[in-house]
Amino acid sequence: MLVKDYGGEIDWNIGAFCGHDEMMFDIDKACKMVCEKNGIKYVFGSISTVLQGGRIPPQKNLPVSEVLSRADKYNELGIGVRLTFSSPFVTRGDLVDETSNIMLRHLDHNNQNGLINRNGVIVMSDLLADYIRYMYPNLELISSQVKPSVEVGLGNDSAEYYNRLLDRFDIVVVNPFKIHDEQFIKNLHDHDRVEFIVNHRCLPNCPMAGRHYQLNTKLGQAIVNGDDITELQNQLAIVYNYCGSSRNSNPLLGTSMNEDEIKILVSQGFKHFKIEGRENNIISFVRDLGD
């Protein structure tokens, strides 16, 4: 997938940071031997902090020093690192979290000093976005794919909504099911700053998406804090039951893109594409990169 000719340049963003790093270093080397035009431009991920959102990081307890070392290695290879600080529950007190700021400061420093200019942060919270823009102005700000699912609900996310996000963020991740809406694509501004997930297997416009993400974030924080997780697991079971029953009725539902769909988007000026998988096992991860 990474080295195919899609008719134009692609900036691939891979879910590997603090998950599949050694594998990614090997894959990047192989990609550069075959094709210099595309290849890997970004990786995303994090260890557990109060700002981390969504799924529990696969290597949540890595020492910060190791995180910074891996980030430096990616940067030396010309690959940007995007931290997944996409919690929807950020408070003012969370902004001064020491671990989070050490990572932010380090990536900002690498951008500022010319090692790379691609480091950034994936966020959902406007409070956090404003803080990062002020404190770490050299970092790219990326609007998380979950922002619309929490703020307006998938299916209600209009082109106007995303255009407002484009006024605030450097890169905006858009609901991948929208690629089938020709008028939406036409009304969307700044195609070169929009990112689509190519292997998103959630139900299209799932009404549970926002709730699912919020519960996953709370679960991750509860595990880190050593809190009781029984009630959160019960609430997540409701989401999983909905997902399972929906998929049993419609087993092929999903928003994974094929090669022709990516080519059409590239011809329309889109170049940012994202591959999920940092929480998957290595077999599933490599399978998605090789599709």
Tell me whether residue 3 is in a domain: no
Q: What is the mean pLDDT of residues 209-221?
A: 86
- CA 210 from chain center: how many Å? 15
Per residue in 110-134, pLDDT (tens digit) is: 999 877 789 999 999 999 999 999 9
Give just the sign of the alpha carbon dihedral 236, 238, 243, 244. positive
pLDDT for the residue 31: 81
pLDDT for the residue 209: 85
Spatial contact of 143 and 123, defined as CB atoms under 8 Å apart = yes
Rounded Cα gap, residues 138 and 140, in angstroms: 7
Q: What is the CATH number of the domain that holds 143?
A: 3.20.20
* Count helices and strands in the chain by DSSP H and E runs: 11, 8
pLDDT for the residue 268: 97
Q: What is the mean pLDDT of residues 171-196?
A: 96
pLDDT for the residue 101: 98
Given a cut of 90, is residue 99 above it in pLDDT? yes
- Rounded to 5, what percent of the chain is helix, strand, coil? 50, 15, 40
Given a cut of 70, is residue 283 above it in pLDDT? no
Tell me whether residue 125 is in a domain: yes
Given a cut of 90, is residue 221 above it in pLDDT? no
Q: What is the mean pLDDT of residues 230-248?
A: 85
Per residue in 48-91, pLDDT (tens digit) is: 899 988 766 666 678 999 999 999 999 999 999 999 999 999 99
pLDDT for the residue 111: 94
Q: Among 204-208, 248-252, 282-286, where is mean pLDDT lowest?
A: 282-286
Q: Give the DSSP per-residue string, 152-217.
A: T-TTS--HHHHHHHHHH-SEEEE-GGGGG-HHHHHH---GGGEEEESS--SPTT-TTHHHHHHHHH
More confident residue, 236 or 3: 236
Spatial contact of 16 and 43, defined as CB atoms under 8 Å apart = yes
By three-state DSSP, how is residue 148 classified? helix
For 194, phi and psi rounded to 5 degrees? -105, 140
Rounded Cα gap, residues 159 and 172, in angstroms: 12
Tell me whether residue 108 is in a domain: yes
Given a cut of 70, is residue 279 above it in pLDDT? no
Tell me whether residue 105 is in a domain: yes
Q: Among 35-49, 148-162, 179-193, where is mean pLDDT lowest?
A: 35-49
Q: How many structural domains compose the chain?
A: 1
Given a cut of 90, is residue 197 above it in pLDDT? yes
Tell me whether residue 98 is in a domain: yes
Q: Which domain holds residue 163?
A: 11-205+253-290
Q: Among 36-45, 249-258, 279-288, where is mean pLDDT lowest?
A: 279-288
Tell me whether residue 238 is in a domain: no
pLDDT for the residue 242: 84
**Cβ contacts of 210 within 8 Å, gap of 6 or more:** 146, 149, 150, 153, 154
Confirm whether pTM is higher than 0.75.
Answer: yes
Q: Which of 7-21, 33-47, 84-98 has the highest mean pLDDT?
A: 84-98
Tell me whether residue 157 is in a domain: yes
Tell me whether residue 272 is in a domain: yes
pLDDT for the residue 207: 82
pLDDT for the residue 3: 67
Rounded Cα gap, residues 117 and 138, in angstroms: 8
Per residue in 22-44, pLDDT (tens digit) is: 989 998 888 877 765 667 899 99
pLDDT for the residue 36: 59
pLDDT for the residue 288: 57
Give just the sign of the alpha carbon dihedral 175, 176, 181, 184. positive
Total residues found in the chain within this entry:
291
Residue 84 CB burial class (10 angstroms; 0-12, 13-18, ≥19) = buried
**Cβ contacts of 95 within 8 Å, gap of 6 or more:** 127, 128, 131
Percent above pLDDT 90 for the chain: 58
Closest by CA position to 178, among listed 205, 201, 142: 205
Radius of gyration for the alpha carbons in the chain, expressed in angstroms and rounded? 18
By three-state DSSP, how is residue 235 classified? helix
- β-strand partners of 272: 11, 195
pLDDT for the residue 37: 62
